Amino acid sequence: MQASVTRYSDEELKEFGELIDSKLIEAKNQLDFYTKSLSEFGENEEARVRGLDNCTMSVEQERMMTLAARQRKLIHHLENARTRVDNKVYGVCRESGKLIAKKRLMAVPHATLSIDAKQKG
């Protein structure tokens, strides 16, 4: 009888770690873009003075703040995933304790639930 695999190999964890690191760089760059855009809204007094642009600016500013908040949340999840890689517990479903499919982790590297567990929840 073959024992069930309870964790990914060190080589696989290294591969996941590299993927997560690249996703973190992308996410932080995107957050920097949103943050710069928001600071430019604050600095652009001339644009605020123009009639309807004020309303448009407000909507765009709100959108940027929402995108920045989402990006911060993604970064937090990716950093947690990186910690799980470092602790060699990455890729284990928090509901079932079984390994999450590699294909799922490649698509969503911060996933903590298998597809089955996510569909049940």
User: What does 40-52 look like in DSSP terms, one character per residue?
Assistant: HHHH-HHHHHSTT
Beta-carbon contacts of 17 under 8 Å, excluding residues fewer than 6 positions away, are 82, 85, 86
CA distance 86 to 48: 48
Choices 1.10.10.10, 2.40.110.10, 1.20.120.910, 3.90.1300.10: CATH for 10-120: 1.20.120.910
CA distance 8 to 83: 14
Determine how many CB atoms are found less than 10 A away from the CB of residue 43: 9
Q: What's phi and psi for 39, nearest 5 deg?
A: -70, -30
Write down the domain spans for the chain.
10-120
pLDDT at residue number 56 = 62
pTM, 2 dp:
0.83
pLDDT by 10-residue block (mean), the chain, 121 residues? 74 98 98 91 56 64 93 98 97 95 97 93 72
